Structure 1
Amino acid sequence: MVDVRQAVLQAVQTLESEGVESPRLEAELLLAHAAGTNRAWVLAHPERPLTPKELTRFRDLAARRARREPLAYITGHREFFGLDLAVDPRVLIPRPETELLVERALDLARRLSGPALVADVGAGSGAIAVALAVHLPDATVYALDETPDPLAVTSENARRHGVADRVLCLQGDLLAPLPEAVHLVCANLPYVGSEEWGALAPEIREYEPRAALDGGSGGLEVIRRLLASARPHLRPGGAVLLEIGAAQGEAARALAGEHFPRARVEVHQDYAGLDRLVIVQT
Structure 2
Amino acid sequence: MTDIRTILRTASHALGDRLEAELLLAHTLGVNRAWFFAHADDALPAPDETRFAEFVARRVKGEPVAYITGRRDFWSLPLEVTPATLIPRPETELLVELALARLPEGGRLLDLGTGSGAIALAIAKERPDATVHALDASEAALVVAQRNARSLGLRVSFFHGDWFAPVAGERYDIVVSNPPYIEDTDEHLSLGDLRFEPKGALSSGADGMDDIRRIVTAAPAHLYEQGWLLFEHGWNQGEASRACFDVNLWTSITTTPDLESRERVTGARRRSNP
Report the equivalent of 2:181: 191
**Kept in 1: contact 2:188–2:194 (CA 8 A):** no
**Kept in 1: contact 2:179–2:211 (CA 8 A):** yes
User: What RMSD over aligned residues (CA atoms) do the two structures have, in Å?
Assistant: 1.4
**Kept in 2: contact 1:186–1:242 (CA 8 A):** yes
* Matched AA of 2:12: V
Could you give the per-residue CA deviations for residues 132-172 of structure 1, whole angstroms, max 9, x where no partner exists?
11111111111111121111111011111111xx3111111
**Kept in 1: contact 2:250–2:269 (CA 8 A):** no
Report the equivalent of 1:223: 212
Q: Distance in 1 between matches of 2:134 and 2:90?
A: 20
* Matched AA of 2:178: N
Matched, 1:116 2:107: yes
Q: Distance in 2 between matches of 1:121 and 1:259?
A: 23
Q: Distance in 1 between matches of 2:259 and 2:188?
A: 27
Matches within 5 A, 1:1-282: 1-16=1-16, 23-109=17-103, 112=104, 114-163=105-154, 166-178=155-167, 179-198=169-188, 201-205=191-195, 207-256=196-245, 258=246, 261-282=249-270
Q: Give 1:194 shift.
A: 1.2
SS in structure 1 of the partner of residue 86 of structure 2 = coil
Q: Give 1:173 shift.
A: 1.2
Q: Distance in 2 between matches of 1:115 and 1:80?
A: 24
* Matched AA of 1:239: W
> What runs of 5+ residues in structure 1 fail to find an aligned partner?
17-22
**Kept in 2: contact 1:143–1:151 (CA 8 A):** no
**Kept in 2: contact 1:266–1:279 (CA 8 A):** yes
> What runs of 5+ residues in structure 2 fail to find an aligned partner?
none
The 1:169–1:199 alpha-carbon spacing in structure 2 relative to 1, beyond 3 Å, is: closer
TM-score of the aligned structures, taking structure 2 as reference length: 0.95
Q: Distance in 2 between matches of 1:56 and 1:48?
A: 16
Equivalent residue pairs, number = 269
Q: Distance in 2 between matches of 1:13 and 1:70?
A: 17
TM-score of the aligned structures, taking structure 1 as reference length: 0.92
Q: Give 1:3 shift.
A: 0.6
Q: Give 1:44 shift.
A: 3.2
Could you give the per-residue CA deviations for residues 209-251 of structure 1, whole angstroms, max 9, x where no partner exists?
0000012111111000111111110011100000010000111
**Kept in 2: contact 1:124–1:150 (CA 8 A):** yes
Q: Give 1:62 shift.
A: 0.6
Q: Distance in 1 between matches of 2:100 and 2:188?
A: 36
Any runs of at least 4 consecutive aligned residues in structure 1 with deviations exceeding 6 A, and if so which?
none
The 1:35–1:193 alpha-carbon spacing in structure 2 relative to 1, beyond 3 Å, is: same
**Kept in 2: contact 1:228–1:259 (CA 8 A):** no
Q: Distance in 2 between matches of 1:262 and 1:2?
A: 63
The 1:262–1:222 alpha-carbon spacing in structure 2 relative to 1, beyond 3 Å, is: closer
